[in-house]
Amino acid sequence: MSAPKTDRVNPEEASAGQLVSQLTEDVSTLVRDEVALAKRDLATAGKRVGAGAGLFGAAGVIVWFAVATFVAAAVLGLATAVDAWLAALIVGVALLVLAAVAALLGKSSVEKAPEPPRERVDSVKADISAAKGEENIR
């Protein structure tokens, strides 16, 4: 934070010009200090968000390995009843069926998504044309 100025004028003895000058200096100092404080706060928050995102990524990798371990356990467990190659084939087909169901559900969800309103699309196109300096043709 900026140190307060020591050459401040007494408001009762100062002219209007001196008061305006002092006000602009004070506002400038205040804005500068607030921006510095905001930068420091954002830097701290950014570090925490980055660390959190890294931990989420690590959790995702660990979950990936856990799922792979469960798949291997399923194959090994099924291999006690049938040959190992057949157990792996059964688990692989089951995973493909699960993937197909998830893909179909995802496709259905995407198809149900509403299209953007036509007016909104036209408005954005007009804004882009105006930004490029083109005439707006409707």
Read off the pLDDT of residues 20-61 as tens digits, 9 standing for 90 and up: 888 888 888 888 988 888 888 888 888 888 888 999 999 999
**Residue 18 — pLDDT band, cuts 50, 70, 90?**
confident
Provide, rounded to the nearest whole percent, the portion of the chain with pLDDT above 70: 91
Sign of the torsion angle spanned by Cα atoms 121, 125, 130, 136:
negative
16-78 helix and 84-112 helix, angle to the nearest 10 degrees: 140
Position 81 scores a pLDDT of 96
Position 2 scores a pLDDT of 56
Three-state secondary structure call for residue 133 = coil
Cα separation, 47 vs 58, in Å, equals 17
Cα separation, 122 vs 120, in Å, equals 5
Whole-prediction pTM value?
A: 0.52
**Residue 5 — pLDDT band, cuts 50, 70, 90?**
low
Cα separation, 128 vs 134, in Å, equals 9
Given the structure tokens 């570090």, which residue do they identify?
47
